[in-house]
Amino acid sequence: MAAAAVALGGCLALAVPAGSAGAAPADPVPTVFFGDSYTANFGIAPVNNLGNEKGWCFQATDDYPAVATRTLAAKGITLDVQADVSCGGALVHHFWEKQELPFGAGTVPAQQDALKENTQLVVGGLGGNTLGFVNILKQCSDKLREPSLLPGEPVDADKPARECKEFFESGDGKEWLDYKYEQVEEELDQALQRMSYFSPDARRVLVGYPRLVPQDATKCQTAAPGQTELPFADVPQDALPVLDQAQKRLNDIMKKVATDDGAEFVDLYAHTGGNTACDGADRGIGGLLENSKLDLIGATIPWYAHPNEKGRDLQAEQVAAKIETLLNS
């Protein structure tokens, strides 16, 4: 469950009836959503598939795919959602390989298995888990290194958390990061090409990650209303810009891959700078150790820096706007 929890080619245009250029498609658009815990919106309850192994994906019933679908329906654009296969803990290669669930709970099929020949829209995001963002967080936090529901290990447990800025800016830490970015880029390219192979007529939309750390990182030294822990717990102040740059570089790589592959990109990072984990009442990201809406045997699971309901709605807004523009073009 911990792993599931956190975690953390060319395309043909959709046919538009003659004389209706710029109008919404008259027929429902066969759509598949894919992704990791940021698409599944880990932390928001209730959760889908509680009666079977897919419940371990912690896919919220009202994840942003569901909210975006309703938003579009209100505008006369109907998505025929063939599947939402987003799953907490998914790495990019789980797009084409089955994903092992924690505690021997079973597996979920490769996400590409949901694609059909008639699928016309594929939307979602992957990359953060392959980059190893949890490992980065644990490298920078003693509290996160303690036994918890958050999976993964620090990149180098022998290096103290207080020195993580230096670790990631030089030597082995920088080398590790550079390798992980290359891996993300190569695997995302493969995932996008597979979408075109299995669904030749599909428009593809790759969704980036919302911003976690604000430009003014000093805001992160104030707890959110009603909270006692700082948004990033004990992550050193000088390491917060490192986290932000890591996320920005991931976002830029995702955008580049999408552009190079002829896909669309939703730049959430660029639209959520005022709703980071450190924006108090306006935060769209739950703090690392802030209680989420999920319980496990009576214990509340922390957000671990995932979008809360406000953040989910911001995701849905941007994704729906991109889909509307795409389908009306």
Secondary structure (H, E, C), 127-173: CHHHHCHHHHHHHCCHHHHCCCCCCCCCCCCCCCHHHHHHHHHCHHH
Averaged pLDDT for residues 129-153: 94
Averaged pLDDT for residues 120-128: 98
> What backbone torsions phi and psi does residue 207 show, to the nearest 5 degrees?
-105, 125
pLDDT greater than 70 at residue 12: no
Helix (H) or strand (E) holding 22: none
Q: Flag the least confident range among 22-26, 58-62, 317-321.
A: 22-26
Residue 103's pLDDT is 75
Is 328 in the active site? no
Q: Flag the least confident range among 6-10, 101-105, 247-251, 255-259.
A: 6-10
Is 48 in the active site? no
CA angle in degrees (0–180, nearest 5) for 5-236-294 = 20
Q: Place 23 in a pLDDT band, splitting at 50, 70 and 90.
A: low
Q: Which domains does the chain have, with CATH numbers?
A: 2-10+26-132+188-327 (3.40.50.1110)
CA–CA separation, 199 and 118 (whole Å): 6
CA–CA separation, 241 and 44 (whole Å): 27
Matching residue, tokens 């022998």: 158
Contact 241, 213 (CB under 8 A): yes
Among 35, 43, 89, 284, the active-site one is 89
Q: Flag the least confident range among 10-19, 31-40, 205-214, 311-320.
A: 10-19
Averaged pLDDT for residues 127-154: 94
Averaged pLDDT for residues 295-311: 92
* Percent over 70 (pLDDT), the chain: 93
Q: Place 64 in a pLDDT band, splitting at 50, 70 and 90.
A: very high
pLDDT greater than 50 at residue 4: no
CA–CA separation, 212 and 273 (whole Å): 8
pLDDT greater than 90 at residue 82: yes
CA–CA separation, 33 and 119 (whole Å): 11
Residue 102's pLDDT is 80
CA–CA separation, 89 and 36 (whole Å): 6
Cα distance between the two ends of the chain: 41
Q: Place 14 in a pLDDT band, splitting at 50, 70 and 90.
A: very low
Strand segments, DSSP code E, in the chain are: 29-35, 79-84, 99-100, 107-108, 121-125, 203-207, 264-266, 291-296, 299-302
DSSP at 13: P
Contact 58, 42 (CB under 8 A): yes
Among 37, 41, 141, 308, the active-site one is 37
pLDDT greater than 90 at residue 151: no
The CA-based dihedral angle spanning residues 273, 277, 279, 284, taken in that order and rounded to the nearest 10 degrees:
70
Matching residue, tokens 């006692």: 228
Averaged pLDDT for residues 255-266: 98
Averaged pLDDT for residues 112-134: 98
Averaged pLDDT for residues 257-275: 98
Greater confidence, 263 or 152? 263
Q: Flag the least confident range among 187-201, 249-263, 289-303.
A: 289-303
Among 86, 129, 135, 199, the active-site one is 129
Residue 150's pLDDT is 86
Q: Place 22 in a pLDDT band, splitting at 50, 70 and 90.
A: low
